[in-house]
Homo-oligomer: A and B are copies of this chain.
């Protein structure tokens, strides 16, 4: 059994930070669960375009308020605690936080932990897979 705790994991390289958001990877590919599991925080007042071309992602809102826009058709869904969205079509989307969003995210295939780090240590400017 693996047991991990968010605040402790945030003190390790399981925490990745980018402009306006961070993500703590409580499970990665190396845990061999077949999915990865992350707690992601989106800073209040920020907006982000994501496009996971190679992953399925589900996102459950634990706290905070915001919205998600389907960029292929302009549909906007309200995000609040209890709302889940799942990118079953690898949907390109814009995630916006009115207040800080805390999100529980699962990815298939599991994230390895290297996706947002480039070889030079910077973050990729366009986050295709994070």
Task: Spell out A's residues near B (CB within 8 Å).
Answer: 1-7, 26-27, 31-35, 37, 39, 56, 58, 60, 62, 68, 70, 75, 77, 82-89, 91, 93, 104, 106, 108-109
Contact = CB atoms under 8 A, between A and B. Distances in A.
A34 B108 contact: yes
A81 to B, nearest CB: 8
Dominant secondary structure at the A interface: strand
Nearest to A77: B3
Identical subunits present: 2
**4 nearest interchain CB pairs?**
A6-B82, A34-B108, A2-B86, A1-B91
B33 A104 contact: no
B82 A56 contact: no
Contact of A86 (B5, B31, B88): B31
